[in-house]
Homo-oligomer: A and B are copies of this chain.
Amino acid sequence: MATLKDVAKLANVDVSTVSRALNNTSYVHPDTKARIMAAVKELSYRPNVLAQGLRSGKRHTIALVVPKIGLTIYEDLAESIDEEARSHGYAILICHTGNDPVVEKECLNRLRNGFVDGIIIAPTGKNTRLLKDIQAGGMPVLQIIRKQESSISSVIGNYEEGAYSSTRYLYEKGCRSIGLVNGDLARMPYAARYRGYSRAIRELGLEDISVSEKNRKTSSFEYGYDCTDQMLDLHPQIDGILTAVDIQGMAALRVLKDRGQKVPEDVKVISLTGYSIGEKLETRLSSCELPSQEMGRKSVQMIIDQIEAPSGQKPTVQHLEFSASFVERETT
């Protein structure tokens, strides 16, 4: 790899002149510049980003730390974040933790060493202290989807509202026994979903039928299958099912098929965190959809604002909440 030095030697000038010529940062004689450009081309010189980063302290890279890449809303988010970041001249480094706090910790510890300029994370919730430390150390951090700590900016959805209105919607459609397949209540969005659900249930005078297990991978098909199956064993009269995420909704559709119950005639199903897959299923899944494009874009803008803020100025902590919009498809 050619360096500035090589170019300088070939063009017969000092490295500083080459640097100035390339960055248009000071006067350089046209002839000199031409010679330099020729040398650059001949050696196919490209500046070393490491050295640039070392000087400037900037890496132009943002980390995205998520529990899972595929079959979740993070799929859509990752794509829009990647796109938006690229348009601002930043690259995205994706890490997935599998919801394992140990992996998350390891990951964060690598990232804080100047690996990236900022971190966008859907935190497991077990490393909140570390996250605060990292932010205190001057590294911009942004929580996405899961808001675990209010001293760190966040971009999330209004899960409570979505769960509430979906429950009421099922009621209006005639459902009188509505179950919720949820995840670990200690984790933010699941708790919010439950709040919304139970508020509606109370108002409607229905029975609270919700399942959630701890210590299991919530965003898995198997989890969704088991929860739904178990719920239907206990409450065979159920005619409406809400699931926290799409993969659970897919699992619910399978369970119902396996049990010979028709969707939406016998049982209606809504996923509370829909993403692009819902539209593509054999029985298209009705869901509450967050504007993942916009959320991704906004997240990138927020973190870049923090990154590029003048160093003295402490950026204000900001919490953005997007409402989901209900998309009616074939399961309701």
A61: chain B residues at CB < 8 Å are 93
Q: Is the CB of A250 within 8 A of B93?
A: no
Q: Is the CB of A257 within 8 A of B282?
A: yes
The complex places the Cα of A47 from the Cα of B114 at a distance, in Å, of 8
Q: Is the CB of A51 within 8 A of B54?
A: yes
A302 interfacial contact with B, CB 8 Å = no
A319: chain B residues at CB < 8 Å are none
Question: Which of A44, A69, A103 counts the most chain B CB atoms within 10 A?
Answer: A69
The complex places the Cα of A82 from the Cα of B92 at a distance, in Å, of 14
A280: chain B residues at CB < 8 Å are 71, 221, 247, 250-251, 254
Q: Is the CB of A221 within 8 A of B71?
A: no
Residue of B nearest to A85 (CB): B95
Q: Is the CB of B59 within 8 A of A69?
A: no
Residue of B nearest to A82 (CB): B96
State the interface size on chain A (CB cutoff 8 A).
52
The complex places the Cα of A49 from the Cα of B254 at a distance, in Å, of 48
Residue of B nearest to A70 (CB): B75
A95: chain B residues at CB < 8 Å are 82, 86, 91-92
Q: Is the CB of B69 within 8 A of A69?
A: yes
The smallest C-beta distance from A132 to any residue of chain B, in angstroms, reads 13
The smallest C-beta distance from A127 to any residue of chain B, in angstroms, reads 16
Count identical subunits in the complex.
2
The complex places the Cα of A31 from the Cα of B50 at a distance, in Å, of 35
A46 interfacial contact with B, CB 8 Å = yes
Partner of A1, one of B70, B137, B279: B137
A93: chain B residues at CB < 8 Å are 61, 91-94
A59: chain B residues at CB < 8 Å are 50
A216: chain B residues at CB < 8 Å are none
A96: chain B residues at CB < 8 Å are 79, 82
The smallest C-beta distance from A327 to any residue of chain B, in angstroms, reads 16
A169 interfacial contact with B, CB 8 Å = no
Q: Is the CB of A70 within 8 A of B250?
A: no
The smallest C-beta distance from A74 to any residue of chain B, in angstroms, reads 9
Task: Give 19 CB contacts A-B under 8 Å.
Answer: A46-B114, A47-B113, A48-B54, A49-B113, A49-B115, A50-B50, A50-B53, A51-B54, A61-B93, A70-B78, A71-B75, A71-B276, A82-B95, A91-B95, A92-B94, A93-B93, A250-B282, A254-B280, A281-B282
The 3 closest A-B pairs by CB, nearest first: A70-B75, A94-B94, A46-B113
